[in-house]
Chains A and B, each alone.
Chain A
Amino acid sequence: MNDEEYGPRILRPLDEEPDAPSRVDVAAAVVAGSRSRRRRRVAATAAAAAAGLAIASVPVVISQAGQTTPDAAGRPSASAKPSPSPKQQYDRTMDVAFPTSCTGEALPVPGGGQSHASALDPTGRYATYRTYVDGRQPIIWHDGTITKVGTPGDDDGLYSINSNGVAVGIVWKGTGPVAIAAEGAKSAQLPGGKGREARAINDHGVIVGGSFDEDAPLRWASRTSQPEKLPLPKGATRAMAYDIDTDGTIVGYVETGAAGAPSGADPAKPSPSAGGTPGAEGTKVRADGARGGRIAYVWPAKGPGRVLERPTAPGVTIDYYDARGISNGWVVGFAAAVGDDRATYGVRWDLNTGKAELLPGLEWSNGINQYGWIAGMTEDNHAALTDGKRVLRLPDVFAFDKQYGMNWAEAVSDDGRTLIGNVDDADRDGLQQAVVWRCS
């Protein structure tokens, strides 16, 4: 039996309608779409104003929300006050200027085709991406020289790389992922790596990640250590560790069950001494659990884990937020608001104060560096670097595809001079291309 006969036969039993009533809301699409279109018009005007510059550079204030005080309406989020932070744990001295212009170029793609960039190390000298010739081929880029890691696989990728050039990620083996670490052309399975994903590695070689089902966040003390499960607040049904700071602080998210979680004997209850938000956090887990929502979570190097402050702004109620990256005590994440158009925001926390700050102009907030600068995408779908006040739009590298075009930055180096990300290539029908930007 050939493919043409076997395919329809074997799949036919799946030929069925969705097993739940539709929740698609056409009116909401009109509302959200109109909003997005208005933003595009504004962005187009800004772009037109900047036209004539060889390199796009559009500094604009995007965030006032961070300066507003949470209202005291009795909502759980509003009751959580930033900690007095007796000691400034992280250095906030800034010794470099925010860049004003960048140039970009595609990362090399042996054999051609699509590519996708994932990670950059703090020095900006190492990056990881993958190509799509005969499968997913992970590649390590080091100062312009590339090394293929292993052979092409079904869904292999390197999600993080440190300043020593050690990367972590997954290879897809048969039924699921296997967590790996890679150095040079070679990769090796992490102990206990089957069915697990390695998401980040810091400069001390400590690795974090979790199970494929996202129900057990994990920490590997080294490439050769067995993983340990990170403690979860009671009632947590899902959780993942996304990133680890140089000092060992881990960030990610937890989700709690619909029945609500008891907080009295919570082993991971808030720690007022850890620079977070004391007092109401146990309650917050429970309150959020009632909605089954996602909450950003931090596991300090020492001491119990805690919930990160729920971001808020006038007229905005966030019911879903997580933490994706951390650098020097700056945490970047994502938040979704209650409302008809389900608006989404970038979020930044400063662990010195525990305060959350919404970044409304940022549709995606992916990577963060030691100064709290964020690599992401603006609402008009262009890659950008922002320090929370200024936004530097990164050049598109390839012509911006009007139908599917969306270019975004994934990561930024500690000095803010190197970024990696992905751009749509209009010449190839919107397929993605990994790029590196140099800024000054």
Chain B
Amino acid sequence: MREAAGMSERSGRVVPPGGGRRARALRRPPFFLLWPSAALLCLIVLLPFAIGVYTSFTGLNQYTISHWSSAPFIGWQNYVDSFTQGDALGATLLQSAWASISFALATTAIILPIGIVAALLMNRPFPGRGMVRSLFLVPFVMPTFVNAITWRLLFMNNWGLIDRLLSTLHLASANTYWLIGPNTFWAMVLADVWASWPFVYLLTLAGLQQISDELYEAATIDGANGPAMFFQVTLPLLRPILGLAILLSTLNHYNNFTLPFVMFGTPPPTQVDVLPVNVYVTSFQLFNLGGGAAMSLITLLIMLVPAFFYIRLVRLGEGAA
């Protein structure tokens, strides 16, 4: 509502609607208070990013690291080499990207139903619920490298617990290899599923507790049974939070460096030569820092694609449908 014009008591001038320039200035949000945060953001995020972009176009290696700003400019060569030449194992960027994407999608697809079911169970009160909720968090709080070492020991062939269990159940030979060969991928997925399902469980539980009981009462009155209530009431209301869980989980698994690094060492088997490990080996073991920077940027671009589609798909930030 516009304020009416009036006379200024002090100067006698006519004061325009809105109270004048000073008043408008005072009503504007104090954006200047954001300058320190913006400056910090530029320093710790944008500046290193810009240096990384620059490095990706140079031939930075062990011969030029001590005067990195004058490393020779080689244009797009690092990007071309990433796609065509590969690392010490011959794994190209595309092969590593496929390993990372498969790992991220497989792990997310498995932990999603586990997390939802666990949250549904924990949403109803029962004796000892608090203790069970705490136990559920143990895999999540365990450091990743501890998790990796533990699963490495479990997967040791012949004497590891997994091989002994599978051979006792006549499901596999006692000499099945999980740390080399094609089984390495599923060994890594299993180890990460165990560690990360509580993440989906926590987000889903938080979402469930925001759903009003009145909606369930209304559904009951309308004759809905358990599965109908889940699919018609619970799941649609959980859609935003599940979308966020899928997005964050996928990105987190895609970026997972510690698990494959500790579980398999370097260089890892080809099946688990995920992008973060490939970038690390290229940069810090083969000393091809320019190539590593190029692969890092390509990794970022690959990550942005699913993030963009997920956000649009679940309409994150908007109200529930």
A in complex with B: no
B interface residues, Cβ below 8 angstroms from A: none
